[in-house]
Amino acid sequence: MTNVPRHVAITMDGNGRWATAHGVPRAAGHRAGLKPTRMAIQECARRGVEALTLFAFSSENWNRPPDEVSSLMTLFVDSLDREIDELHANRVRVRFIGDRKLLSVRLQARIAAAEQRTAANDGLKLQIAMSYGGRWDIVQAAQELARQCSSGSIRAADIDEARFASLLQLAGVPDADLMIRTGGEQRISNFLLWHGAYAELYFSPVLWPEFDVAELEAAFAFFGGRERRFGLTQAQLAAGEAMKVREP
């Protein structure tokens, strides 16, 4: 397949509504979300996507009812335990982005172990966003730059986009090319505010537990049909200028 996005980011929305529609608890909806999550990882790896970032739990999700938060945290620990061998066997490099100190000690330990174990893998770069918010990400980078300025190790004039990006959670991962959101809402909801600057946005009405290969295929086909201009004219694009804008 031509024109494969380098970096796909997915907001996996609609588990709760799927659960309600099926008359089961919301936690069961989140469990049903594991099947499409595995599918998305497998399919992206198979198609040669370089990086996949999944929005599993936002900074704002902490405000959900405590029993839902706790069932999600248990699901994350259990699924990491269950999936890590297979991810590693498939050379997937797993990293977590977000404010991990807010997560339970148990989950933090699983995360550190998964990251360490897969760090040298050369396959799909899988980022799982947990306790993540795009604004939080930008603020923590700004704080670090302020610290560096006040300690005298850099001057304000040294701050450019590359230095800023190097302090964001996705440092080293290319910008998102395709951002998919399921569940019918057409919002960014504080996901990748920096790396999504030029992403193509694909909104699917399908609830996440029902998102299947055909749906993912439709998102890729949408991406394949887009003309990405990065602020340039069509004539400049034809002359091959886009790469200079993307990777200065």
Q: Is residue 33 at the binding interface for ligand FPP, with CB under 6 A as the rule?
A: yes
Q: How far is the CB of 185 from ligand FPP (least distance, A)?
A: 7
Active site residue 121: no
Kindly give, in sequence order, each residue whose CB lies less than 8 Å from that of residue 193, ignoring residues fewer than 6 positions away. 134, 135, 137, 138
CA distance 52 to 124: 7
State whether residue 123 is helix, strand or coil: coil
Active-site residue (options: 3, 13, 99, 122): 13
Q: How far is the CB of 46 from ligand FPP (least distance, A)?
A: 18
CA distances from 13 to 101, 131, 183 (A): 24, 15, 5
- Which of 54, 114, 192, 206 binds ligand FPP (CB under 6 A)? It is 54
- Which of 7, 10, 14, 87 binds ligand FPP (CB under 6 A)? It is 14
Amino acid at 17: R
In the region spanning residues 83 to 142, those forming contacts with ligand FPP, defined by CB under 6 A, are 128
Q: Which residue is nearest to ligand FPP (CB)?
A: 16
Binding segment for ligand FPP (CB under 6 A), chosen from 43-51, 53-61, 220-228, 238-246, is 53-61
CA distance 203 to 12: 11
In the region spanning residues 182 to 241, those forming contacts with ligand FPP, defined by CB under 6 A, are 183, 208
Active site residue 212: no
- Which of 5, 8, 10, 13 binds ligand FPP (CB under 6 A)? It is 13
CA distance 54 to 126: 8
CA distance 137 to 238: 35
**Could you list the active site residues?**
13, 61
